[in-house]
Amino acid sequence: MRAHSDALINPAAPFGILSLQFACNADAAKAILNTWDSTALLHARWSLYWDMGFATAYGIALVALTERFFAYRNKHGFQPAPTIAWLPIWVALADWLENLLHLCLISASGCGAHALLPTLACSAVLLKWGLLSGWLLAILWHALPKRSNG
């Protein structure tokens, strides 16, 4: 995965595929895509495919770990909201959506609404990170020991 990412680094994309993922408008995305030749675009595709596999793996793993954590906390009288445990699946789905939109953006056909794709993809990136941050904050909040006021 690192080899694919490293092949995409250049002055227009100093963070490789991440630069494209956070290019939230058509001009920024076009500036990056114009610096990548066909080999670099192949690396970009492979990087996104790898990320889709990673999203599936972390989604399932984080749900399993969260449920185990909540099962442990339930033994101590804690009743968490089940939505928190399943939030990583929504994170993974947002990651998949982001990757599919980026694959569409770099494809030869352009999938139609080319000008809107970077904004939609960036929105999926921000949604993914927002959901992941919310999940992490909820886990940290529930990990804190409950203190009584007595």
Helix (H) or strand (E) holding 6: helix 2-6
**In the structure, what pLDDT confidence band is assigned to residue 83 with cuts at 50, 70 and 90?**
confident
pLDDT for 21-30, tens place per residue? 999 998 899 8
Asked whether residue 19 carries a pLDDT value surpassing 50, the answer given is: yes
**Distance between first and last Cα of the chain:** 53
The total of structural domains in the chain comes to 1
Residue 148: inside a domain: no
Kindly report the backbone phi and psi dihedral angles of residue 14, in degrees, each rounded to the nearest multiple of 5, phi listed first: -65, -20
Establish if 150 belongs to a structural domain: no
Q: Which domain holds residue 19?
A: 2-143
pLDDT in tens, 31-78: 999 999 999 999 999 999 999 999 999 999 999 998 888 877 666 666
C-alpha distance from residue 32 to each of 37, 80, 124 (Å): 11, 44, 19
Residue 149 lies in a domain: no
User: How many angstroms from the chain centroid is the CA of residue 94?
Assistant: 6
**What are residue 13's DSSP bridge partners?**
10
